Amino acid sequence: MEHGSREERVRRSTPRMGVAPNPGASSSGAHGAARAVELETLLEEHSEGMLVRTGLTCRHGFFPILYCCWSGPDTGRRFLACSQVEQPCDFKYWIDEQFEGRAKRVIQDLVSMRHSMSELYEHSSRQWDDMYADRQRVKQQIHELKCTIREQRERIVILICFSIVIACGICSLC
């Protein structure tokens, strides 16, 4: 197990490709621990995809965005990365240390289950859309059949009336 504050462990395991966090501050002792708690508190208030004003900046000089890795060996780990969409720099600051052993397997299983649930949702959505389209087709067919029945009824009434007129005409000749 590694020793030191959470921030120190993060810094040691973080390949800093952008600006170092708070370069003028000492990361040892109470100040480092306080900064780690402050960073963790700040990150708890933000959700994935939000711009985070941590004091860190990327090579462009912008505040980074909070991300969570959803694939590969770093699954489940949070990190800060460049907020530029079109031309992001290579700034990446890992928040969480790498997971080991059972924690890593559980996280990978959860991500796998999330993926399976997403596939199930997509499949169910397609089935729902197909069923709805079938229902709309059946409703249209019922409407068309009702119109056909109405037209047939009208023809039958006309035939009956015509038959009565002809029968009355034949009876009057007798």
**pLDDT tens digits for range 118-170:** 999 999 999 999 999 999 999 999 999 999 999 999 999 999 999 998 888 88
Phi first, then psi: what are they for 97, rounded to 5°? -75, 165
Amino acid at site 47: S
Its pTM stands at: 0.44
Do the Cβ atoms of 66 and 73 come closer than 8 Å? no
Which tens digit of pLDDT belongs to each residue from 30-58? Answer: 656 666 666 676 666 666 666 777 778 88
Secondary structure (3-state) at 57: coil
Distance, in Å, from the CA atom of 112 to the CA atom of 104, rounded to the nearest integer, reads 12
Structure tokens at 99: 């997971």
Domain map (residue ranges) of the chain: 48-98, 99-173
